[in-house]
Amino acid sequence: MPSELALRAQLILREQRDLYGYWRSCAQSKPIPSRYDIDPVDIPHLLPGLSLLDAGEDLDALRYRLAGTRVREIYGTEITGRTVFDGALQHKRDYWLPVYRKVIEEQIPMQGAVRGPVSGREHLLLIWMRLPLTGLGGAVERVLGYDAALPVSFLYSPAASEAEEDAMRPASGIEKHRAHG
């Protein structure tokens, strides 16, 4: 399906491609996998960058159930048990709210890059992916996340233009379609 190919083409890290391939294989014939289909034991090399978030109807209550060691390093603090928009994580609320809305309400996998994942970490470029996981009722109950970071200086100069920063907006490559296998 073209929309899935577009998303796959946007995955720049091998680990993103590995996780997306694993997530798709767990879905089998379903549009997206259930949270019961995922077993972290199957993907040990990805564990440091993984997070698992509890989702519900209220996006403000979206909470990190688990976060790998790399995720803690990227955010500069332990985020397990915290809500996505709690404290320092509030810094990018306008960026993340539409991402999680698409992932949870529309069941669309998303990926992107954002400078300064939290306040005080502007020297990092976060390369991320968020994948929906359904519960027994078919609604998204969990979000499987993957985060990696690079120094901003690795990709572009500190005096990046507004056009470059606009190019880092979240993307699904799917536009109103679910990714199918």
Q: Determine the structural domain holding residue 15 and report its residue range.
A: 2-166
User: What is the distance between the alpha carbons of residues 88 and 35, in angstroms, rounded to a whole number?
Assistant: 28
Is residue 156 within 8 A of residue 45, CB to CB? The reply is no
In a domain, 10, yes or no: yes
In a domain, 68, yes or no: yes
| pLDDT tier for residue 168 given thresholds of 50, 70 and 90 | low
In a domain, 177, yes or no: no
> In this structure, which amino acid lies at residue 123?
H
In a domain, 7, yes or no: yes
Q: How many domains are contained in the chain?
A: 1
pTM of the predicted protein model: 0.83
Over residues 96-107, the pLDDT tens digits come to: 999 999 999 999
In a domain, 132, yes or no: yes
In a domain, 181, yes or no: no
Per-residue model confidence (pLDDT) at position 179: 41
User: What is the distance between the alpha carbons of residues 9 and 118, in angstroms, rounded to a whole number?
Assistant: 27
Burial class from Cβ neighbours inside 10 Å (0-12, 13-18, 19+) for residue 177 reads middle
User: Pairing state of beta strands 140-151 and 124-134?
Assistant: antiparallel
Q: Does 160 score more than 90 pLDDT? A: no
Per-residue model confidence (pLDDT) at position 163: 43
In a domain, 176, yes or no: no
- Which helix (H) or strand (E) covers residue 155, if one does? helix 152-155
